[in-house]
Structure formats: C-alpha cells, structure tokens
Amino acid sequence: MTTAIQTALATAVSTLQTQGILPADWQDRSVLNRTKDRAHGDFASNVAMLAAKSAGMNPRELAAKLIEALPASSEILKVELAGPGFINFFLNDDQRFAVLDQIATQGDRFGESAQYAGKRIQVEFVSANPTSSLHVGHGRGAAYGMTVARLLQAVGYEVEREYYVNDAGRQMDILATSTFLRYLELCGETLVFPSNGYRGDYVYDIARRIQVAEGDRFCQDVHAVMANVPADAVYGPADAEGNRPLLSGDKEKHIDGLIANAQQLLGHEGYAVFHQAALNDILNDIRDDLSEFGVHFERWFSEATLKDKITEALHTLRHNGFLYEKDGNLWFRSTDFGDEKDRVVQRANGQTTYFAADIAYHLNKFQRGYDRIVDIWGADHHGYIARVKAAIQAMGFDPEKLTVLLVQFVSLWRGGEMVQMSSRSGQFVELRELRKEVGNDAARFYYVMRKSEQHIDFDLDLAVSQSKDNAVYYIQYAHARICRMIQRLEEQGGHFDRELARASAGRLTVGVEAELLAKLAAYPDQVVRAATQFEPHQLGNYLKELASLFHGWYNEFKVITEDETLTQARLLLSLSVRQVIRNGLLLLGVSAPESM
C-alpha cells in the first residue's frame, strides 16, 4: 500500500536533484509513517525536513516544491503540506479498502512477510541451570524468547530456538552430591546437610527413585563422606542492619570437599548414577513445564559436549595473542576490547572456568553459520556482555552479529501487596504455580507487555479479572464477540455474503470505521517493527488499541441492521478485525477463543 507513495516521492526527489534544488548525491533516509489522525491523511513523510539543510531552504518551502514535483498517481487521492514540513498523503477509497482484500486472501498469514527470507537466526533463551524447577523469572524469559522467535519467523527469518543445558558445571555437582546425601539419609545415616546444598523436597524424590532402582548398593558410612571436609559456615546472630558475621567454616570449601569425597567413594560410574538421575529428572520437568506453556526448542545443547571445543577456543585465543599466564592461571586479555578487567579462562589446577565454556559455546554458534545470533539472558548478566563480545572478536568473528537481550525480574502482587507464595523448595515461586493460578494466556501476555529490560509487577488479580482493564481478556473478548455475532446471524437465518460486502465497502463512512481500516492496514508494519526491535509489547499494545476501537464502534453502531448492504459491509469489517486479532494473539502465544 505504501509502494505508490514511495515511488512518487522517489520521482519527486530525483526531479529536484535534476533541477539542482537538491544535491545529486543526497541520500533519502526519510520515513513514511501512518498518521494517527486520518484528518491528516493516511501517511506522512518527513523527507522535506531531512533534506532542507542540503537544499538550503526551510522545510515547508522544500515540501511545497516536492509536492509540485510529485507525479500523478491513481492510488493517491490528494497531498497536503502540514505543520513544519510534513507531506501528508490521502489514499483513494480503493486503496483504503484494499486491506480488506488482503486479509481475506491471506487469512492466517496476513501480517507475515518475506523481508528476511534466506536469513538464519538463532535465538537462545531460558537456559536455566537444570538444578530445580523453573520459577516465575524463568517464565518471563521463556515467554519473551518464544514470542521474539515467532515474530522473527513472521518476517521471514529461518529461526532456530535453542536451550543451553548447563550440565557440566559445579552447580550440577552440588545437586548430584545433595542427592547422594539425601540417599544416605534414606539408608539410615544421620548427617548435617550442607547450608548451600540443594534442599528442596524434589531432591528427596530423586534420591528415593534411585533407592528403588538401585537398592542400598551405594550406601556409605557418613564418616567416610565427611572425612577431611572443612567445616560448613557458621554465622552469628544478625546485627541491626541484618548482617550476620561468619564465626567459623567456609561453606564453599565444605561443599567442594563433599563433592570430592562423593566422587571418590562412588567412583565414576556410581557418581554418574546420581548426576544423571538428577539431571534427567529436572530436565524432563523443565521440558514438560515449557511444553505446557507453549514453548518449544529445536535444539537442547549440552554443555558437557564442549570439552573439545573449549580446547579449540583457547588454542585460537592463544594463537591470536590474547592469552597470558599469571599466578599459575591462564588469562584472557578482555581489557583489549573494552572490558573492565582481564578474565581467567583456566585455573592453576587445570580446570577451565564457566567463561571458557561460554567462549567455546559461542565459537560453536558462530561456526554454525547463522546470519544473526540472539542471546536472551537474565538482567544479572549485564556485566557479562562485554567479555563475551570481546572473546568473539578475539577469535576473529564479528561481535555485532550477536545481540544480547536482558530480561528483568518479576514481582507478583495480589490485593496491592507483594505475594510470598510457597513452593516445593520454599525458596521461589514456580512457573507452574503461576500458570495454574492465572492460565497460560494471561501469563504469556503479561510477561511480554513491557520492554524486556523493565521490571514487571505482575498483578494476579488483574490477570484473572473479566474487565476492560485486563488487556488480554479485552482483546480475546473482541474476537469472541465477533464469533458470537456471526453465530447469532446464522441462527436467525442470515449469512455473510463476501461479494456483496466487498461491493458495499463504500458504506463504511463513519470516522471510527476509517480508523479501523487504517489500523488493520498498519498491522504488517507493526509486526515488522516488533520483530526487528525485539519488542513484543509493541504488538500487544497494537492489539489493545485495535480491540478498543472495535468495542467502541460495536457499542455505538449496529452491525446487523435493516440495511442489507450496510450490514454486509460492517460484517466484512468485523471479520477482518477478528482475523487480525487472531493473527496477533497467536504470534504472542495467546489463544483466540470463539466464546467467553
């Protein structure tokens, strides 16, 4: 729909360049936007304001010359100069109603485009440690990542969604050892559980399943497990500011000692039983939770498979001159690329760091040949971005291919107070609990209705209310309302006649109908903006505005009237609204119910 205007503007600019009014090398970077008020036309261009300085004249004067140079177009009804130099375009009726034909023809695919066809993009998100169930913070990353991926697919990208499974790090060793200790308790041993072990009931559940499958063959004397292990941390009472002094012990050295003893006593195969049982149990739980939430991945990438890739990454960094040894550790010169300090990639004991694994993982990503890579991380990883991009550049890749999006935290509220909901572990609110209380639709919608880097205060009361203030309900109700209207029409012996409706589209003459038509026509551009800016909330806001326009129109004007041609025209408009609402909701991962 904008092509005719863009072509006409390009011709006018070329004419002024030929006349010497504009420099021959002037590059047009203007934008053509839909107007918010149709009294100002259908589209507005800022080309005159951008080119005024190069032309050496004021914007309104240049705009007048551009308008004069515009070629005639059957699709443009009239052109006006407005404000400080905007050029406003009014489309003829055929062009305004063309969106109804597009929606009818394209149906569920209306709004999709091939703008980025042939481009491959990877979106990695959630990637929570498989050490416990997903909590509400993970839920936001899941909803946001899945919606971004769907939007990118809608504009033509070939998208691969990936979950990075941290199955080789210290946290998994802590979980495996915690499971072993609970198993020992089931064997009848009495022990003091480490303060920084995994304490949730789910650890007992895993230990019980191991005992059922393996019996008592892994039972050990607790004294052997605790032998030569440094004391756990012991804290004194809290002071006035809430700080508790460390009286004795070191909880980190304590748990590391327990891990080492468990590995030695159980041997490689025995320890693997606890490690794999814990990993598989929790990873399956995460898969099920995400699947029920409508979140799916093409690939679950195991950190444990990166051993050779870590060696390759460190070799590449060394070969490129960005590694050095100090105090027995191997350091990466990340300060050469703007990081605040250099980073250890291998400790003196030969163990590589988490950062080394992340470098190797991104080496693997870049070697897979994606055109773009998107990482979606928690907000607490902000300081990690610079060092990862530094490593990418140091290995010879373009760091600008990587986009890191940060997802802020979530607070739950009910009745004006922050909710402290219990969970199986007593430490966090599980995603399952939230989904059970408000439903998938409300959770998916409200998770993405703010910019990802902004904190969310999730109002549980609002999310389940059936009111105009509940945006997801209000949008879904517009869809269901139209479905019910068509159902009532058919029950009364009427029917929708698309051919007559389209021929009668000229009967859509009231102002709000023009606004609805313009809003529908803006949907494809809105999808592109939401996708390319990684901002699903833009689409959510669009749907709220469309639903509000429809409800206001429906409440003020009868759709089914004694006037057959007017009825058919308004039915066509209503069905077009229904289709766009459905398309938009599905991109957000929200259902479009036919009754409510």
pLDDT at position 421 is 54
pLDDT at 39: 77
pLDDT for the residue 119:
98
Give yes or no for residue 558 having a pLDDT over 70: yes
pLDDT band at 424 (very low <50, low <70, confident <90, very high): very low
Distance CA 105, CA 92 (A): 21
Confidence (pLDDT) at 423: 43
Domain boundary among 251, 266, 292: 292
Query: Are residue 288 and residue 174 in the same domain, yes or no?
Result: yes
Q: DSSP state, 353?
A: P
Question: SS3 sequence, 368-434?
Answer: CCCCEEEEEEEHHHCCHHHHHHHHHHHCCCCHHHEEEEEECCEEEEECCEECCCCCCCCCCCEHHHH
The answer as to whether 416 is a domain residue is no
Q: What CATH number is given to the structural domain containing 522? A: 1.10.730.10
pLDDT in tens, 285-295: 999 999 999 99
pLDDT computed for residue 425 by the predictor: 47
CA 426 to chain centre: 28
**Domain shared by 179 and 287, yes or no:** yes
378 has a pLDDT exceeding 60: yes
- Is residue 483, in this structure, part of any structural domain at all? yes
Q: What is the per-residue pLDDT for 238?
A: 74
Q: Is residue 513 part of a domain?
A: yes
Residue 285 lies in a domain: yes
User: pLDDT tens digits, residue range 127-143?
Assistant: 999 999 999 999 999 99
Is 404's pLDDT higher than 80? yes
185, 74: one domain: no
For position 77, what pLDDT does the model report?
A: 86
Q: Which of 241, 260, 292 represents a domain boundary (last residue)?
A: 292
Q: What percent of the chain has pLDDT over 90?
A: 83
Q: Give the residue with greater pLDDT, 319 vs 382.
A: 319
Identify the domain containing residue 63 by its residue range.
3-91
Which of the listed ranges 93-102, 321-330, 376-385 does the model predict with the highest average pLDDT? 321-330
The beta strands (E) that lie in 281-371 are given as: 299-302, 323-326, 329-332, 343-346
Q: Give the chain's domain count.
A: 3
CA atoms of 227 and 230, how far apart (whole Å): 9
Domain end (from 292, 326, 353): 292
Per-residue model confidence as pLDDT tens digits over 235-289 = 778 777 777 777 778 999 999 999 999 999 999 999 999 999 999 999 999 999 9
Taking only the tens place, the pLDDT of each residue in 484-499 is 999 999 999 999 999 9
Say if residue 422's pLDDT is above 70.
no
Q: 18: domain CATH number? A: 3.30.1360.70
- pLDDT band of residue 35 (cuts 50, 70, 90) is confident
Confidence label for 1 from pLDDT (cuts 50, 70 and 90): low
Span 144-198, pLDDT tens digits: 999 999 999 999 999 999 999 999 989 999 999 999 999 999 999 999 899 899 9
**CA dihedral over 75, 81, 82, 83, signed as positive or negative:** positive
3-state secondary structure of 265: helix
Query: Is residue 230 a part of any domain in this protein?
Result: yes
The SS3 of residue 355 is helix
Three-class SS state of 401: helix
Residue 340 lies in a domain: no
Neighbour count for residue 533 (Cβ, 10 Å): 12
Tell me, what's the pLDDT at 591? Answer: 97
Task: Establish if 562 belongs to a structural domain.
Answer: yes
Is residue 54 domain-resident?
yes
Decide: 410 and 332 in contact? Cβ < 8 Å. no
Other Cβ atoms closer than 10 A to 371: 13
* Statement to judge: residues 177 and 286 lie in one domain: yes
As beta bridge partners, residue 120 has 158
